[in-house]
Chains A and B, each alone.
Chain A
């Protein structure tokens, strides 16, 4: 009995970690830069596919984890410079449309290069297999995911709360004109943050690939899930993203135990309840 509860708990935790990786990037870039990035899920997907290629070419998963995020970050940054930059002054609707188009182009490009079938990625032998917890075997890889998610969460929080660069970015979010006057190159910071958020998404993609395989539907599934997390947790709040991730993961894990459909329904019920009673999310700021 105990072991069942523990396994479910750990499942929820590892799912939460994955969701958090994506949702945190999303809430940061929107909460801080007020940039609306529909393509966030697409960068996650590109990360997964590039991770696949890296593993196929080099046989090393760790290499993928190291090399793919910067590459995807660069792709994201160059897209920001060549497209997004021109429409910042327009209404945010156009950002949404543009990043939607970018997401679509990315997905189609992946389809052209890799085809429509999903690609499975082997986890490194170190993480393969299971660990014995409370008497039951539990997949090591899921534990790794959970640990990775927590580590990145801490890293991001530390960056924004404790470093000078993080302070600059937060200041920029409050008042970009002022930040400009004070010497910050707002354009460059925007590009950097955008690229970093894409890289963060890619980490999630690479990390999830051994568990979920790399498949085309990832981009939309993940972005919908991430937004549900952000709606529940609240805009611009990393703590909210963490809480939202846990709630959504719990709903999906326990809801999905009996019938997989109820997982989705339960998640939407929770989201619906939040929308009715706390439209700004659990930790969101009132605008």
Chain B
């Protein structure tokens, strides 16, 4: 079978399985699966920056957190329909990412990475200290699942919420793919490959990097905005540097620069976390060691490994 036929078949089967999930899994398992999808979306957004633009961001979790807070506050105080909360999450994340990105892209490489970390820590501290708005270290709790639209009843069935998350993930994936293949996406990859050459060919690279940074932040904000009603709370921990580190690990684990890879990586990472944390309190240590080994030995991640195996056989 040709490679493209295998790919199409895989996509079709995956899609079918994804649609059937609510009937295949028990309630508790479905809940975990929703979390896998939300973090898959989060990790995919980071891949836009890391895999396609070649910029490492140590502060990506800040935008997830901002999305969660925006969504949580809208849902608690205004009981607006879920799509409104989602839009609020995307908007807040993007709005904050714009000035942060503008300042950070004035630097490159490690400087850029550290600046993203510095700004994320600043945002974390703001969330931690601004008790009146964010509930401080406790965060905001009691975030409800509201309705899909004005006039409709609130979403109570986990299956319905699952499809909301799934449709967000699928549409974001389609949008990201389109972005990668667009002239803009190709320009971004050129910047990743050789920024100096890009600039010498006639354009400033910074607006491109800024735009992809903001878009990625927006998608991360969407993931956060889904997380708040899903779990019912939003907390500063979601913005801490450790969380940013974890999403980086998801991207590397799954396969940087593949869009699908990070989604898979997120799922594997969270499942490992679930399994390990029930056996030992030090699961983070093992995860860190695995991460270090992967960076050295398997930088292409799971998808990279799969591609190599597949290419080896044909």
Query: Which residues does A use to contact B, with CB under 8 Å?
Result: 30, 36, 38, 83, 86-87, 90-94, 96-98, 100-102, 104-105, 108-109, 111-112, 220-221, 223-224, 227-228, 230-231, 235, 261, 264-265, 268, 271-272, 275-276, 279
B107–A231 touching, CB < 8 Å: yes
Least CB separation from B55: chain A residue: A93
Query: Which residues does B use to contact A, with CB under 8 Å?
Result: 54, 56, 58, 103-104, 106-107, 109-111, 113-115, 117-119, 121-122, 125, 129, 241-242, 245, 248-249, 252, 282, 284-285, 288-289, 291-292, 295-296, 299
B106–A279 touching, CB < 8 Å: yes
In the complex with contacts A92-B110, A276-B103, A105-B285 CB distance below 8 A: yes
With beta carbons under 8 angstroms apart, the residue of A83, A227, A276 that contacts B106 is A276
CB-CB under 8 A from B249, the residues of chain A are 101
> In the complex, A243→B115 CA distance in Å?
19
In the complex with contacts A36-B110, A93-B56, A224-B118, A108-B282 CB distance below 8 A: yes
Q: What distance in Å separates the Cβ of A241 from its nearest Cβ neighbour in chain B?
A: 14
> In the complex, A267→B143 CA distance in Å?
35
CB-CB under 8 A from A223, the residues of chain B are 114, 117
With beta carbons under 8 angstroms apart, the residue of B58, B103, B125, B289 that contacts A275 is B103
> In the complex, A279→B118 CA distance in Å?
16
> In the complex, A96→B114 CA distance in Å?
10
What DSSP secondary structure best describes chain B's contact surface?
Answer: helix
> In the complex, A177→B138 CA distance in Å?
55
B248–A100 touching, CB < 8 Å: yes
B295–A94 touching, CB < 8 Å: yes
Q: What distance in Å separates the Cβ of B52 from its nearest Cβ neighbour in chain A?
A: 13
B103–A105 touching, CB < 8 Å: no
B103–A83 touching, CB < 8 Å: no
> In the complex, A175→B233 CA distance in Å?
54
B110–A105 touching, CB < 8 Å: no
> In the complex, A109→B122 CA distance in Å?
26
Q: What distance in Å separates the Cβ of B304 from its nearest Cβ neighbour in chain A?
A: 14
Closest 10 CB pairs of A and B: A108-B285, A227-B114, A101-B292, A105-B288, A104-B288, A101-B291, A279-B106, A36-B110, A275-B106, A98-B295
In the complex with contacts A220-B121, A272-B103, A279-B106, A231-B56 CB distance below 8 A: no
B288–A101 touching, CB < 8 Å: yes
> In the complex, A23→B139 CA distance in Å?
34
> In the complex, A100→B245 CA distance in Å?
8
CB-CB under 8 A from B103, the residues of chain A are 272, 275-276
A231–B285 touching, CB < 8 Å: no
With beta carbons under 8 angstroms apart, the residue of B113, B117, B296 that contacts A86 is B296
With beta carbons under 8 angstroms apart, the residue of B113, B241, B291, B292 that contacts A220 is B241
A98–B285 touching, CB < 8 Å: no
A224–B117 touching, CB < 8 Å: yes
Besides the known contacts A30-B110, A261-B125, A279-B107, 4 further A-B residue pairs in the complex with CB atoms under 8 A apart: A38-B113, A90-B299, A92-B110, A112-B285
B296–A93 touching, CB < 8 Å: no
With beta carbons under 8 angstroms apart, the residue of A38, A108, A268 that contacts B122 is A268
A96–B118 touching, CB < 8 Å: no
CB-CB under 8 A from A91, the residues of chain B are 54
Least CB separation from B120: chain A residue: A224
Q: What distance in Å separates the Cβ of B80 from its nearest Cβ neighbour in chain A?
A: 31
